[in-house]
Amino acid sequence: MESVIRFIDKKHDNYLNELRDFLKIQSISSDSTKNGETRRCAEWVASNLKSSGVENIQILETGGHPVVYGDYLHAADKPTVLIYGHYDVQPVDPIEAWGTKPFEPVIKGGNIYARGAADDKGKLFAFIKGVEAWLAVRKALPINVKFFIEGEEECGSTHTDSFLEEHKKLLAADAVALSDTAWFAEGFPCIQTALRGLCYMEITVKGPDHDLHSGSFGGIVANPLNVLGHIIAGLQDEDGKILIPGFYDDVLKPTDEELEGFKKLPYNDAEMKRCAGVSSIWGESEFTPLERIWIRPTLDVNGLIGGYTGEGSKTVITTRGTAKISMRLVADQNPVKIAKQFEQYVKKMAPKGIELEAKKLTSAYPVHFPASSKFVQGASRAMEQAFGKKPTFIREAFSIPITYSFLKILNAPSVLIALGHPDDNLHGPNEKFSLEHFFGGIKMAAYFLNEF
């Protein structure tokens, strides 16, 4: 390994220059005026993989932006790891809030500033360069590696699931390695072992068939907006506990080790309050804040509308009100089952005279990749060797839906190797990536390959 690590150190400037070239390409996948740039980016990745020694490079069409594939499959009887990443980036608005030009990478204070620096070009590139170093120094890889690099992650991964289905055999792997997540804090490397899922519902409460004068009819007509309030209140108690019958049935208990790990993290309310822009932290009192966002399902009203919303007053009992309500799910909750439980429960809460419609808008399965698995353990050792500190096994509050697709379609668990910082400004202006994490990430990738 030492020779590989020395090689990485030697190639410092080359890797940085290549990363700069990668970041200069304006691969904004949601902006069709940039389609030329997005395709050029796929071609750049393919060419970089080729010069890195990866074989069987292909640019595969998806109906949208293409996928770049490559592999190196010469380690018989060794596992195959699929390295996943995306070469597309978010739009740059609000452009006036940037201190530098988003597609002209600038190094300042140990960070490289550019759109896509952290999400996901810099992190993905660390894996590519880790593979390259092995192939350059050792002319071989200790395991089998496949690259699956998509160009639609920032515009909904519209074609990804069907692509996975179609290319099941090509992409077959024992595990997926991806880095789209961040350390808990500086000095606290981590590996995410679970992601929350989602069940996003919309309910429409219908009352009178025409707007009524609330003076004339107030008191004898069930008002859809009052009912909507009662339904929202009935979904969750004031402490945050969700009241849908059966809702918690499938919630997996975290291990004691996991909970102990959470407690050692430098969480503090003041920082969380600053970050959320609130004067107080809220939620289920018998759980710590980190437990609430990582191991507990939650319910939020995302939007509400009904009746008169203009200036001043109008004394109307309106015909309908709508609420968008989403639930973050944790392993092993099933969004299909939760949607049914939700629908049955809210329908029961509607009084006579009110018709209630509930529909599921979107959903994502929660995923859980136990820390005990050999791939997660291997990643943990690789992180420790590259960064000098054992990573904490944490969870993530949000969803990365493709991890469930890998599980369902390829039967491959994911290893979520954090390389970013919490303040990397993903999707925002002044996106950045730590160069220490970039080069540490290349070494981590090199160590990781050697762990099986």
Q: Which of residues 375-404 bind its own copies (CB under 8 A)?
A: 397-399
Please report, as residue ranges, which positions from 142 to 201 form the binding site for its own copies (by CB under 8 A).
Answer: 196, 198, 200
Q: Tally Cβ neighbours within 10 Å of residue 13.
A: 8
**86 — phi, psi (to 5°)?**
-135, 140
Q: How far is the CB of 214 from its own copies (least distance, A)?
A: 4
Q: Looking at 14, 47, 216, 411, which residue binds its own copies (CB under 8 A)?
A: 216
Assess 223 for contact with its own copies (CB under 8 A).
yes
In the bound state with its own copies, the residue whose beta carbon lies nearer, of 85 and 321, is 321
Query: Mind giving me the DSSP string for 190-218?
Result: EEEEEE-EEEEEEEEEE--SS-EEHHHHT
Cα-based angle 202, 208, 210 (whole degrees, multiple of 5): 105
Q: Which two tokens stand for residue 281?
A: 């932290």
In the bound state with its own copies, the residue whose beta carbon lies nearer, of 104 and 398, is 398
In the bound state with its own copies, the residue whose beta carbon lies nearer, of 67 and 330, is 330
Helices (H), 120-243: 122-138, 160-166, 168-171, 214-217, 224-235
Please report, as residue ranges, which positions from 55 to 84 form the binding site for its own copies (by CB under 8 A).
Answer: none
Task: Give the integer Cα–Cα distance in Å for 216 and 98.
Answer: 56
Task: Give the integer Cα–Cα distance in Å for 83 and 50.
Answer: 15
Amino acid at 159: H
Binding mask 236-255 for its own copies (x = CB under 8 A): x-x-x---------------
In the bound state with its own copies, the residue whose beta carbon lies nearer, of 63 and 351, is 351
Nearest to 112 by CA among 16, 205, 202, 35: 16
**81 — phi, psi (to 5°)?**
-110, 130
Q: Is 309 helix (H, G, I), strand (E, B) or coil?
A: coil
Q: Looking at 2, 139, 169, 210, which residue binds its own copies (CB under 8 A)?
A: 210
Stretch that binds its own copies, among 130-138, 306-314, 340-348, 438-446 (CB under 8 A): 306-314
Please report, as residue ranges, which positions from 6 to 25 form the binding site for its own copies (by CB under 8 A).
Answer: none
Only one residue has tokens 């639609």, namely 152
Q: Looking at 99, 109, 270, 309, which residue binds its own copies (CB under 8 A)?
A: 309
Task: Give the integer Cα–Cα distance in Å for 34 and 91.
Answer: 10
Assess 429 for contact with its own copies (CB under 8 A).
no
Q: How far is the CB of 186 from its own copies (least distance, A)?
A: 19
The DSSP bridge pattern shows strands 111-113 and 106-108 to be antiparallel
> Does residue 112 contact residue 432 with C-beta atoms inside 8 Å?
yes
Assess 289 for contact with its own copies (CB under 8 A).
yes
Assess 304 for contact with its own copies (CB under 8 A).
yes
Assess 270 for contact with its own copies (CB under 8 A).
no
Task: Give the integer Cα–Cα distance in Å for 334 and 133.
Answer: 42
In the bound state with its own copies, the residue whose beta carbon lies nearer, of 102 and 321, is 321
Beta-strand runs (E) in 24-121: 55-60, 67-72, 80-86, 106-108, 111-113
Q: Looking at 272, 357, 373, 451, which residue binds its own copies (CB under 8 A)?
A: 272
Q: How far is the CB of 434 from its own copies (least distance, A)?
A: 20
Task: Give the integer Cα–Cα distance in Å for 359 and 363.
Answer: 11
Q: Looking at 139, 219, 256, 270, which residue binds its own copies (CB under 8 A)?
A: 219
Q: Looking at 53, 283, 428, 429, which residue binds its own copies (CB under 8 A)?
A: 283
In the bound state with its own copies, the residue whose beta carbon lies nearer, of 318 and 341, is 318
> Does residue 436 contact residue 126 with C-beta atoms inside 8 Å?
no
Stretch that binds its own copies, among 6-14, 232-240, 375-383, 437-445 (CB under 8 A): 232-240
Stretch that binds its own copies, among 3-11, 81-89, 120-128, 269-277 (CB under 8 A): 269-277
Please report, as residue ranges, which positions from 311 to 370 form the binding site for its own copies (by CB under 8 A).
Answer: 312-318, 321-324, 326, 328, 351-353, 355, 361-362
